[in-house]
Structure 1
């Protein structure tokens, strides 16, 4: 007699639900395989067993690829801004307005300087000094080298039309005219100078009068020239300067500054002098005009120990 085995499978609700899910997944897999093998015309074939959502890194890769594509693409050129047309300069001989001020100013300066030169040369004091054999005439400011003259206060800054119109005229006694011996036994020449200069209208202080500071500068300039012949190196620096003003100076006039070295001791030299405003001569002379002493001065000059290292200012 045959023996039949009966297999009894006990299922629980959870087990049956699990089998149901598995069977559904199998059916879905078969359908997807069928769709991939026989795709519809309107749908693209799909890869089997691919998840419906891409992994997280897929979006990053797509962004990177888009950036690479943008970087590979040629840069967009910005619109070109039209340049303005170049400026054309007028030809050298075009009809431009002339500037006559340059030539006119030069002519005026030359005329004024020539007039002052004539006034000084024809003045009776000038003619008397030129006839005196004890005096030697010079124009020290003209002997200063041009690079030094441009930076010099008197010969450069204060010189020119409407200021110190022309370089001053200087007459000095010759070195052999008189001499003395100091306590150290060294011979020094006692010198005397006469300086004539013209002051223009642009060096005033109070309206109608010459600035007192300018007169002090002229004393210092003339005194230094006077003591140079009494010092071994020919160079003295101002140690003390006193000026006593007597009358105000008037611009547009000639002035005479007399200086005399009165004492020399070693490297020290004392000098004194007076400044006179000369009366006008010829047609410009006023009735009853006389020479007027404007100021008197005295000073002490010292020969510096480093005189050999100083660049000489004058050539004579």
Structure 2
């Protein structure tokens, strides 16, 4: 039976070290309109157990740390850095493609939320183009940018990259729609 490995202090600091020096993070931090977070979607403590990325996918050897997130709520763009552990694999040693879809969906949705009247949307369409396999124990980032917004609809493009070698891993585009019942949804930003 395999046991989960809890990252040691050096491994836990690896993501912070990469983010502190990463050119994309430095470019975002230089903007006046940036807010930094350690989550994509705001979640009340009592609701965390019902949030996929805050609970089920979080923990040692999975999403072992909360992401480093830089949100530009004026332009509708977002930059998020993650560590992807071995429990997120599909094939041994390779992160499951569905995991990347989940992270892209959250980041792309959150990028466009500030531009919509109700500050929330649901995914109407998400297209992914897988470019390279993602190895487990990778440090990655997602850059999501809203390319258009009209009424209750927003179009977002994103790139999922290796944070250490810069390889493109997944490209995505999506359509996000603020539902007519948005006022009854839990606020996540």
The question of a shared fold, defined as TM-score above 0.5 by the shorter chain, is answered with yes
Place the TM-score, normalised by the shorter chain, in its bin.
Answer: 0.7 to 0.9
Does residue 311 (structure 1) correspond to residue 186 (structure 2)? The answer is yes
Shift of 1:110: 6.7
1:19 equivalent in structure 2: none
- Structure number with higher strand proportion: 2
2:170 equivalent in structure 1: 295
1:229 equivalent in structure 2: 114
Alignment length (residue pairs): 185
Shift of 1:211: 0.5
Retained in 2: the 8 A contact 1:116–1:166?
no
1:136 equivalent in structure 2: 35
Root mean square deviation, CA, Å = 2.3
Shift of 1:265: 1.6
Q: 1:154 to 1:118 in 2, by over 3 A?
A: same
Retained in 2: the 8 A contact 1:142–1:167?
no
- TM superposition score normalised by structure 2: 0.87
Retained in 1: the 8 A contact 2:73–2:115?
no
Higher relative contact order (CA 8 A, sep 6+): 2
Ranges in structure 1 where 5+ consecutive residues have no aligned partner = 1-104, 176-189, 280-289
Does residue 199 (structure 1) correspond to residue 84 (structure 2)? The answer is yes
Does residue 124 (structure 1) correspond to residue 9 (structure 2)? The answer is no
Q: 1:269 to 1:212 in 2, by over 3 A?
A: same
Q: Secondary structure at the match of 2:146?
A: strand
Ranges in structure 2 where 5+ consecutive residues have no aligned partner = none
Retained in 1: the 8 A contact 2:73–2:111?
no
Does residue 245 (structure 1) correspond to residue 143 (structure 2)? The answer is no
Instruction: Pick the structure with greater CA Rg.
Output: 1
CA distance in 1, matches of 2:15, 2:134: 20
Alignment of structure 1 residues 1-316 onto 2, 5 Å:
108=6, 111=9, 114-125=12-23, 126-140=25-39, 143-175=42-74, 190-279=75-164, 290-312=165-187, 314=188, 316=189
- Structure number with higher helix proportion: 1
Q: Deviations over 1:156-215 (max 9, x none)?
A: 11111100111111112242xxxxxxxxxxxxxx41111111101111111221110100
CA distance in 1, matches of 2:150, 2:73: 20
CA distance in 1, matches of 2:123, 2:32: 30
- TM superposition score normalised by structure 1: 0.54
